[in-house]
Amino acid sequence: MTRLLPAQFADLEPYAQTWCRRTEAERWAVRAASSMQELADFYDAAFPRLEAAIEYCDEHPLDALPDDVGRLVELVHSVVMVSMAVEIFGQPKTVDSADAVLHRVREPRP
């Protein structure tokens, strides 16, 4: 299988296919479609590695990230999004949001 993340983060490779997403809209859709168990598994594996991941990404200029490092940034963005569900809500959806939606229609790249 092709490696998506830098070799130092091989332990997160099982989550890369699902969570390396270019846009917030895609990450949001994956969070909404995931079970709490899936979100907790991803968070438990990735959260302890965040500081190392951010330090690793910072070794490269933000506007010239190699592909695998760019995907690592995307994965970190996903952990940030998932943290809301795991640390606070205890459910994939925002508590008390019912059927409200808010689309992110533009964002900086990366």
Toward other proteins, which CB reaches closer, 37 or 96?
96
Closest approach of Cβ 74 to other proteins, in Å? 10
105 binds other proteins (CB under 8 A): yes
Q: Rounded to a whole number, what is the largest CA-CA distance in the chain?
A: 41
Q: Measured between alpha carbons, how far is 22 from 89 in angstroms, rounded to an integer?
A: 24
Applying CB under 8 A, among 6, 26, 50, 68 the residue interacting with other proteins is 50
Tokens standing for residue 7: 């070799």
Q: Which window, 2-10, 12-20, 34-42, 45-53, contacts other proteins (CB under 8 A)?
A: 45-53
Q: Measured between alpha carbons, how far is 76 from 51 in angstroms, rounded to an integer?
A: 10
